[in-house]
């Protein structure tokens, strides 16, 4: 892993810091789930998800290709690519959702912090912050006014600051920035900034998990 390309952030992120994702990684951006997990190595995460090891892959392009190749012989398995960023592990699921699936994520978050965001090809999106088996915050990034969890308003000020578009603050013609805002909120909750260089150049430990 390159320490330069994925770092612990020292300032508040905004949507402007993540507008590169859709243009730079279009195949992943149309359907993905990204998760950050604190103090748990890739091998430990894979054990919690009851997954099996798969060959390591370098860069998002290889990950996306391998994820769809895996679906051909075994459509019931989801590829997960994992890389350590200091005290955190980043999980990438092309066309996946396990990171925001509460039946999976909440048990897996016991003893750690779990921050995940998801988009599918139909434009459905979700954000989940779980801690020690409890959902602290859950919402649809395009509709941040509706939130659930045990502490849904704890980071409400930060949600406004990073750029989520609340009903009272936007219009019907405003550009949809919910995806970049989800990245920025994940950075706020973890301190980890994901960069294009990291996604392009990192070698990821990979596994696959059976989809329920």
Q: What is the pLDDT of residues 158-179, one digit of tens each?
A: 999 999 999 866 656 567 889 9
Give the span between the Cα atoms of 130 and 181, in whole angstroms.
Answer: 18
1 assigned to some structural domain: no
What is the DSSP secondary structure assignment for residue 123, as one 8-state letter? S
110 assigned to some structural domain: yes
pLDDT of amino acid 5:
36
Residue 156, exposed/middle/buried by CB under 10 A (0-12, 13-18, 19+)?
Answer: middle
152 assigned to some structural domain: yes
Sign of CA dihedral 159, 165, 167, 169: positive
**Contacts of residue 123, Cβ cutoff 8 Å, sequence gap at least 6:** 142
Count: domains in the chain: 1
51 assigned to some structural domain: yes
> CA distances (Å), 202 to each of 63, 79, 159, 182, in order?
11, 16, 29, 22
> What is the token pair recorded at 178?
């919910």
pLDDT of amino acid 79:
97
Give CA torsion, residues 80, 17, 177, 21, to 10 deg.
Answer: -40
pLDDT of amino acid 51:
96
Task: Give residue 101's domain range.
Answer: 6-210
DSSP 44-71: HHHHHTT-EEEEEEEHHHHHHHHHHHHH
pLDDT of amino acid 212:
75
- Longest Cα–Cα distance of the chain, Å, equals 48
> What is the token pair recorded at 92?
């990438």
49 assigned to some structural domain: yes
pLDDT of amino acid 200:
96
- H or E, element range at 178: helix 178-190
pLDDT of amino acid 176:
83
- Picking from 142, 145, 197, 151, the residue whose alpha carbon sits closest to that of residue 172 is 142
15 assigned to some structural domain: yes
Q: List, in sequence order, every beta strand (DSSP E) within the chain.
A: 6-8, 32-38, 52-58, 77-85, 88-94, 113-119, 125-131, 134-140, 143-148, 192-194, 203-210
Residues of the chain falling short of pLDDT 50: 1-7
Give the span between the Cα atoms of 85 and 136, in whole angstroms.
Answer: 23
pLDDT of amino acid 146:
96
pLDDT of amino acid 72:
84
112 assigned to some structural domain: yes
């Amino acid at each position: 892993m390159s320490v330069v390309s994925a770092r612990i952030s020292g300032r508040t992120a905004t949507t402007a810091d993540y507008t590169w994702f859709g243009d730079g990684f279009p195949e992943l951006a149309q359907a993905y789930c990204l998760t950050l997990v604190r103090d748990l190595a890739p091998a430990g995460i894979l054990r919690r998800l009851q997954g099996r090891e798969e060959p390591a892959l370098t860069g998002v392009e290889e990950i996306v290709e391998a994820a769809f190749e895996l679906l051909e012989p075994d459509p019931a398995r989801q590829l997960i690519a994992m890389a350590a960023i200091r005290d955190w592990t980043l999980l990438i699921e092309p066309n996946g959702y396990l990171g925001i699936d509460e039946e999976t994520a909440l048990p897996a978050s016991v003893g750690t912090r779990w921050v995940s965001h998801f988009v599918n090809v139909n434009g459905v999106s979700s954000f989940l912050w779980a801690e020690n088996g409890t959902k602290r915050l859950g919402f649809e990034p395009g509709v941040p006014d509706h939130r659930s969890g045990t502490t849904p308003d704890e980071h409400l000020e930060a949600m406004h600051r990073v750029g989520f578009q609340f009903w009272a603050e936007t219009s019907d013609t405003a550009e949809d920035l919910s995806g970049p805002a989800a990245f920025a909120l994940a950075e706020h909750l973890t301190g980890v900034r994901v960069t294009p260089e990291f996604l392009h150049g990192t070698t990821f430990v990979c596994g696959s998990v059976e989809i329920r």
